[in-house]
Amino acid sequence: MTLSPSKPATASAFHGWPGLIERYRAYLPVSAQTPVVTLHEGNTPLIPAPAIAARIGRGVRVWLKYDGLNPTGSFKDRGMTLAISKAKEAGAAAVICASTGNTSAAAAAYARRAGLRAFVLIPEGYVALGKLAQALLYGAEVIAIRGSFDRALAMVRELATQYPVTLVNSVNPYRLEGQKTAAFEIVEALGDAPDWLCIPVGNAGNITAYWMGFNQYHSEGLAARLPRMMGFEAAGSAPIVLGKIVEHPETLATAIRIGNPANWQRALAVQEASGGAFGAVSDEEILDAYRLLAAEEGIFCEPASAASVAGLLKVKDQVPAEARVVCVLTGNGLKDPDSAIKHAEAHFYQGVEPSLAAVAQVMGF
């Protein structure tokens, strides 16, 4: 039988995932006049995590919302598609952000897609190499300051009021509007909201956005319940847990190395409304979860992402029997290859002779 060649697809025939704005247009602050700037972000998988569930027991089921599979490798793309689209609609020529890495990558990619200039302020020496590489290759103008992320954020907020640049950090309300779509996807995958949502907390925008999304679907009758929101900070950078600004935050989880979260009060409101809690996890606990995810679940996330799993395991005795739990993994492991190589426990044999006998000997045969 001879097969005839398939016809080339036309634009009108495209049936793939359209990106978050088109998929959730009815729930987002956009109009027919909004120029949609998209890399077809979203639609990231909700992956069962049996190895983590087994450590909790009592019939608890665990899933991982792996947002490290967004186009630039982190959840920031969800907010950036909307923030950049609205900036372009408003006639902006340039955008600016402060970043520990992921925001800079997303802002640079979407800004350049939109034909806008992108300026990024980062804390010198505290941005993982993979993220810096992204921002530079996307064409952002990167400015490293001798100071913390919190200082960089204060500066870009002031710059945006004095110069013709649009701020696209999570203080920009469109960022959270875009990020809330992850909650929509979780409800659609599970058929309802989970009992618990565990999430890393840095600037506290994402926990706020998820709660917005769950509430919106609940109010529309698309979810029967609301989850308990469990936020986890790194112990060396835990202002919400400590109840005070951390002047010199320190943690290997650089993506959440923030001492004065911009969305602090909103996050506390989420905690109260959901009956949730904030907790702190040590760098050692984060690394244990980071390695567990890779070695037993086959999922490579960046260290900050593993804070959600580290936190869940730390409070596992508090999880109700038969509960459905979702842990958010915010970024891809390839964002920070140095940490992976430094903290991996697998053997790395170097300088082996290129012979079958030598390689077999290393293999233990």
| Alpha-carbon span 291 to 76, nearest angstrom | 23
For the residues 97-121, what does the mean pLDDT come to?
96
Which residues are bridge partners to 328 per DSSP? 65
Q: What CA–CA distances, in Å, run from 335 to 105, 135, 189, 331? A: 10, 12, 27, 7
pLDDT tens readout for residues 33-83: 999 999 999 999 999 999 999 999 999 999 999 999 999 999 999 999 999
Count the residues in the chain.
365
Query: What's the pLDDT at 202?
Result: 96
Say whether pLDDT at 12 is over 80: no
Q: Mean pLDDT in the chain?
A: 95
To the nearest 10°, the Cα dihedral for 306, 310, 316, 320? -30
Residue 225 near residue 355, CB atoms below 8 Å: no
Q: How confident is the model at residue 128 (pLDDT cuts 50, 70, 90)?
A: confident
pLDDT tens readout for residues 298-338: 999 999 999 999 999 999 999 999 999 999 999 999 999 99
